[in-house]
Amino acid sequence: MKESIKKGLGFGLTSGVMTPLGLMVGLSVGTESKLVVVAGILTIAIADSLSDALGMHISQESVKKNTSKKIWESTYSTFFFKLIIALSFLIPVLFLNLTTAILISIVWSFLLLSIFSVYLAEEHKKKKWKVVAEHLIIASVIIIVTYFLGKFLKGFVV
């Protein structure tokens, strides 16, 4: 896989998993509204995918050795992977009750992160379980923080 596309995949996948999941957990606990969660996912899928692609673009422009082609490959792949992965979270939310959808989304997130973590570990010749554990622990912290943030904010919403 081309280095520029791998950068977009890595960033888009990670951001495409964790940003919608964190938002979903916080919004579902804070509002208990399926409509709010769907709106949040759609907003993240579109606005944040474009924003992350721009961030990747500017980041890649700051590296002198990058060609215009490499910069645009990273930009497009970041947008594409983030958008597709973020939109995948709509499926359980649209067809299941919110609690079940959140639990399935957590499993889906852990699966995607684990697969990519194993790929990274193999590529860098590191212990797979260590790389997977590190990434899943960080993901768990994000889930826990957004859960409690949603609980906290729920007390302020009428």
User: Is the dihedral angle over the CA atoms 42, 147, 99, 116 positive or is it negative?
Assistant: positive
Residue 36 phi, psi dihedral angles, 5° rounding: -65, -40
pLDDT at 119 over 70: yes
pLDDT at 5 over 90: no
The answer to whether the beta carbons of residues 135 and 150 sit under 8 Å apart is no
Tell me the per-residue pLDDT of 53-87, one tens digit each, with 9 for 90 and over: 999 999 999 988 888 998 999 999 999 999 999 99
Tell me what pLDDT residue 65 has.
87
Share of the chain above pLDDT 90, in %: 82
Calculate ∠ Cα 115-119-124, nearest 5°. Answer: 145
pLDDT at 158 over 60: no
Q: For residue 146, which of 109, 94, 91 has the smallest C-alpha distance?
A: 109
Torsion of CA 43, 49, 54, 55, to 10 degrees: 100
Q: How far apart are CA 95 and CA 77, in angstroms?
A: 28
What's the mean pLDDT in 25-32?
94
Q: Would the pTM of this model clear 0.75, i.e. be above it? A: yes
- 157: three-class secondary structure by DSSP: coil
pLDDT at 97 over 70: yes
